[in-house]
Amino acid sequence: MTTVLSMPTRPSVTAPPATPDSVRGYLSAALSYAQTSHDGERNSINVPREAPAHPLQRIAMTRHSDRETATHQSRPGRETMIQPLLRYWGRDFDRRMAEPQRDPSPQFKAKTEVAVAVHETPIVFVVDDDVSVRESLELLVRSAGWQSEMFESAQEFLSRPRVLRPSCLVLDVTLPDLNGLELQKWLAVERPDMPIIFITGHGDVPMTVQAMKGGALEFLTKPFADHVLLNAVDQALELSRIALGDDAEVRELRDRYASLSQREREVMALVVRGLLNKLVGVQLGISEITVKAHRGRVMQKMAAHSLPALVMMAATLGVPVPKA
């Protein structure tokens, strides 16, 4: 006789509504964990110090909590960015929880416009001097549901204004005026978010190596199967979507940071480290009142509504943090 054991059903748990007390508890637990890691040191938000190898391969801020990665940074360096957050959440918590939501800022509206553009029909640009190749690729691209634009030369493509939607470039290496590799070098400076797929009828190893080192996504030799090109285009458009959303935000932050004076940048670098106004003044040799004035202008120009927001902006921009 076989006995069938039935497992008890796990009761469903409904999360209680968030209240100031419950959120305070979550924050307290999180901050307690941040006090000590597995090796007795603090966890922190790590600010990237080196520029990524390619704009389409940006690395976001990382959170170091494990023992192995924590040992690769000095303790003061890991502590600098978390201190302002700890102090901020420790003050006037109930007042901030009760604050009404603000109206959307111009930056939020700009991000919304970018989000709409990201979901528009992608465009596949094709630059090839062979009319038969252009016609066949146009049919292939449209059959996949994408919009296509054909160009006979590199100069004709460069006269086309930049579009604010996901896009990629299918580029022939051999062109009559400006060849594909030269066009790639120009795009690397002017349009670094444009993924490039090279196609050629007579490629060689040095040409392929040069194209891939320049950031090309694929290098296909004619004739190639339709699905090979479509897969490459699909991957390129996905990278373009990601780059489009990231690039709009970073460009906006860079413009704001460029509007700061040299002194304001120095104050910002010390403030995001967690230094109080008095200590900032001591390091820069200015009065505390002057520090407050500079700090206020930094918050205004950077459109930062709080210190944690300014810290995140500095991390995104990779603002150099001076050593203590």
Nearest one of 30, 8, 45 to 272, comparing CA atoms: 45
Give the percent of the chain with pLDDT over 70: 62
Whole-angstrom distance, CA of residue 122 vs CA of residue 148: 8
- How much is the pLDDT for 220? 94
The residue ranking higher by pLDDT, 312 or 22, is 312
pLDDT in tens, 244-299: 877 777 888 889 999 999 999 999 999 999 899 999 999 999 999 999 999 999 99
- How much is the pLDDT for 304? 93
Whole-angstrom distance, CA of residue 30 vs CA of residue 20: 15
Identify the structural domains of the chain with CATH numbers, from first to last: 129-237 (3.40.50.2300), 259-317 (1.10.10.10)
Whole-angstrom distance, CA of residue 139 vs CA of residue 137: 5
Nearest one of 272, 273, 279, 283 to 306, comparing CA atoms: 272
CB < 8 Å & 24+ apart, contacts of 231-237: 232/197, 233/124, 233/141, 233/144, 233/146, 233/168, 233/170, 233/197, 234/144, 235/195, 236/168, 236/195, 236/196, 236/197, 237/122, 237/124, 237/146, 237/166, 237/167, 237/168, 237/195
- Which helix (H) or strand (E) segment holds residue 169: the answer is strand 167-172
Whole-angstrom distance, CA of residue 128 vs CA of residue 136: 11
DSSP code at position 161:
P
State the SS3 of 185-237. Answer: HHHHHHCCCCCEEEEECCCCHHHHHHHHHCCCCEEEECCCCHHHHHHHHHHHH
- How much is the pLDDT for 122? 93
- Residue 292 burial by CB count (10 A; 0-12/13-18/19+): exposed, middle or buried? middle
- How much is the pLDDT for 81? 46
**Residue found by looking up tokens 């590799």 in the block:** 181
pLDDT in tens, 107-159: 445 554 545 455 688 999 999 999 999 999 999 999 999 999 999 999 999 99
Query: Residues 167-173: what's their mean pLDDT?
Result: 95
Q: Take residue 212 and report the two structure tokens written for it.
A: 């891939």
Query: Residues 233-250: what's their mean pLDDT?
Result: 85
Q: Torsion over CA of 64, 68, 71 and 72, rounded to 10 degrees?
A: -80
pLDDT in tens, 62-114: 333 343 333 344 444 444 444 544 454 455 545 544 555 455 455 445 554 54
Give the percent of the chain with pLDDT over 90: 45
Q: Rounded mean pLDDT of the chain?
A: 74
- How much is the pLDDT for 4? 47
Count of alpha carbons within 13 Å of 165, Cβ hemisphere only?
14
Whole-angstrom distance, CA of residue 175 vs CA of residue 152: 8
- How much is the pLDDT for 35? 44
3 state SS of 297: helix
Residue 45 has pLDDT above 80, yes or no: no
- How much is the pLDDT for 146? 95
- How much is the pLDDT for 95? 53
Number of H helices and E strands in the chain, helices first, is 15, 7
3 state SS of 170: strand
288, amino acid identity: E
- How much is the pLDDT for 242? 86
The residue ranking higher by pLDDT, 189 or 125, is 125
The total number of residues shown for the chain amounts to 324
- How much is the pLDDT for 76? 46
Cβ atoms within 10 Å of 62's Cβ, excluding its own: 11
Q: Take residue 93 and report the two structure tokens written for it.
A: 């918590």
Q: Phi and psi (nearest 5°) for 169? A: -125, 125
- How much is the pLDDT for 21? 53
